[in-house]
């Protein structure tokens, strides 16, 4: 057996930061007070992380690129059929079904966080009130997708005996000595920082535009303020 590098550091750091911020944003939900402030901070962090990942999908390391894991219909179908026979093949990067799940997770996080920001009153309280229900919908859809994601990871791990959770942590996978697979070219950490810094500044700016004491679009806020 030999060990090869699969996930570069920025991709791994992105994943666990996103997982933590989304899971906590789905648990800590309020429309005023400290819990509301925490929900907003976590939500804006998730927004910044997804924007980073969208750029990283073009500029990042070999396995992190969308071209590496967004597969066509035939490949997805063949993988799904093998999965239904409980014999999915191992993959060095994301498997074809997982690749699409990644896109859905990113899209739903983007939608939940963006509508969340609008709920925060960035475009006025009328818009805030209008998007409130949509935010709840995307938040719930994202929650469902996170369950599917974690279930998919466990199923893949059990059926392929490939500890993909550990791989997403330390970045490496063990493969047969005879395999021709070589370590993936990682993205530059410096480039990742150059992409991240303006996005963090943008996130900070968004935070300054949100009333952190109470959500402007919520009825409780309206009745308190008249």
Should residue 14 be labelled a site residue for ligand HEM when binding is judged by CB under 6 A? yes
Q: Looking at beta carbons only, is 88 or 98 nearer to ligand HEM?
A: 98
The two beta strands, 2-5 and 172-175, are antiparallel
Should residue 146 be labelled a site residue for ligand HEM when binding is judged by CB under 6 A? yes
From 80-88, 98-106, 176-184, 191-199, give the range in contact with ligand HEM by CB under 6 A. Answer: 98-106
User: Given candidates 4, 9, 28, 30, which one binds ligand HEM under the rule CB under 6 A?
Assistant: 30
Computed on alpha carbons and rounded to an integer, the radius of gyration of the chain in Å comes to 20
* CA pair distance 42, 119, nearest whole angstrom: 14
Left, alpha or beta for 205 (phi > 0: left; psi -120 to 50: alpha)?
alpha
Angle at 49 between CA 36 and CA 6, to 5 degrees: 140
From 73-81, 82-90, 147-155, 176-184, give the range in contact with ligand HEM by CB under 6 A. Answer: 147-155
Residues found near ligand HEM in the complex (CB under 6 A): 11, 14-15, 18-19, 22-23, 25-26, 29-31, 39-40, 43-44, 46, 53, 64, 94-95, 98, 102, 105-106, 109, 112-113, 116-117, 119-120, 135-136, 139-140, 142-143, 146, 149-150, 153, 164-165, 168, 210, 215, 218
């Amino acid at each position: 057996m030999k060990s090869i590098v699969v996930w570069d550091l920025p991709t791994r750091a992105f994943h666990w930061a996103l997982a933590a911020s989304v899971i906590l944003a789905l648990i800590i939900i309020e429309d005023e007070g400290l819990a509301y402030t925490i929900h907003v901070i976590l939500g804006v962090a998730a927004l910044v992380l997804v924007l980073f990942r969208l750029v990283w999908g073009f500029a990042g390391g070999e396995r992190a690129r969308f071209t590496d894991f967004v597969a066509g219909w035939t490949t997805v179908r063949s993988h799904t059929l093998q999965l239904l026979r409980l014999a999915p093949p191992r993959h060095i990067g994301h498997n074809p079904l997982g690749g699409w799940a990644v896109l859905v997770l990113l899209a739903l996080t983007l939608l939940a966080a963006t509508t969340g920001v609008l709920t925060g009153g960035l475009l006025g309280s009328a818009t805030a009130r209008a998007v409130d229900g949509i935010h709840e919908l995307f938040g719930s859809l994202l929650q469902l997708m996170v369950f599917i994601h974690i279930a998919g990871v466990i199923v893949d791990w059990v059926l392929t005996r490939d500890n993909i959770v550990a791989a997403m942590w330390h970045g490496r996978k063990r493969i047969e000595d005879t395999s021709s697979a070589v370590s993936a070219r990682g993205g530059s950490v410096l480039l990742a920082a150059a992409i991240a810094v303006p996005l963090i500044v943008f996130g900070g700016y968004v935070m300054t535009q949100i009333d952190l004491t109470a959500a402007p679009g919520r009825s409780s806020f309206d009745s308190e303020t008249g």
